């Protein structure tokens, strides 16, 4: 019974290990990684549920249960951290895209005095009346 859990952990490590190797950008570039991580997360949660079930059936000692559950939980938090990192990466991409859009919009349309947006060919600011 316990051996089965260790095999499960080994399999899990084998799946997760490449995610922690090498340069992060390279990893993040891997297409569908977020799907993969969601899959891993579900897998770990399933393992924990099954472990709890076996424990409730009296198939495991307290000590084994706690030890294995601890391992699964730390695997789960590793996967969650990866998901988090991936999301952060996506946010920073969004921010960069937003900033790019803003600075391209800014060319000549904003008042140098008050910053108000003005029509492209305006000679005076619509807000403060300042001359362009
Ligand atoms: Zn102005």
Over residues 88-128, the pLDDT tens digits come to 888 888 899 888 887 765 555 788 889 888 888 888 998 99
Say what the pLDDT of residue 28 is: 47
Kindly give the distance from the C-alpha atom of residue 104 to the centroid of ligand 1, in angstroms, as a whole number.
19
Phi then psi dihedrals of residue 119, to 5 deg: -60, 150
Distance 64 CA to ligand 1 centre (A): 71
Percent of the chain scoring above 70 in pLDDT: 83
Q: Which pLDDT score is estimated for 75?
A: 95
Burial of residue 71 (number of CB atoms within 10 Å: 0-12, 13-18, 19+): buried
Q: Tokens representing 99?
A: 């900033």
- For residue 98, report the distance from its CA to the centre of ligand 1, in Å: 24
**Rounded to an integer, what distance in angstroms lies between the CA atom of residue 37 and that of residue 81?**
10
Q: Which residue has the tokens 């472990």?
A: 51
Sequence-separated (6 or more) residues with CB below 8 Å from residue 125: 111, 113, 114, 116, 118, 131, 132
Report the separation in Å between the CA atom of 97 and the middle of ligand 1, taken as the mean of its atom positions.
Answer: 27
Provide the 3-class DSSP secondary structure of residue 108: coil
- Flag the least confident range among 12-16, 30-34, 67-71: 30-34
User: What average pLDDT does this structure show over 28-50?
Assistant: 83
pLDDT at 27 over 50: no
Instruction: Decide if pLDDT at 50 tops 60.
Output: yes
**pLDDT score for 42:** 94
Residues belonging to the chain: 132
CA of 119 to the centre of ligand 1 (A): 12
The pTM (predicted TM-score) of the whole model is 0.49
What average pLDDT does the structure give for the chain? 83
**What's the gap in Å between 120 CA and the centre of ligand 1?**
13
Ligand 1: distance of its center to the CA of 107 in Å? 15
- 99 C-alpha vs ligand 1 centroid, how far in Å? 22
């Amino acid at each position: 019974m316990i051996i089965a859990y260790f095999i499960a952990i080994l399999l899990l490590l084998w799946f997760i290990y490449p995610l922690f190797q090498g340069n992060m950008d390279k990893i993040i570039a891997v297409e569908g990684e977020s799907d993969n991580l969601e899959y891993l997360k579900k897998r770990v949660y399933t393992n924990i549920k099954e472990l709890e079930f076996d424990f409730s059936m009296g198939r495991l000692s307290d000590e084994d249960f706690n030890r294995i559950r601890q391992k699964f939980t730390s695997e789960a938090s590793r996967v969650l951290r990866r998901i988090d990192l991936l999301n952060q990466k996506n946010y920073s991409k969004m921010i960069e895209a937003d900033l790019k859009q803003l600075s391209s919009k800014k060319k000549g349309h904003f008042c140098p005095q008050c910053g108000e947006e003005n029509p492209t060919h305006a000679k005076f600011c619509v807000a403060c009346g300042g001359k362009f």
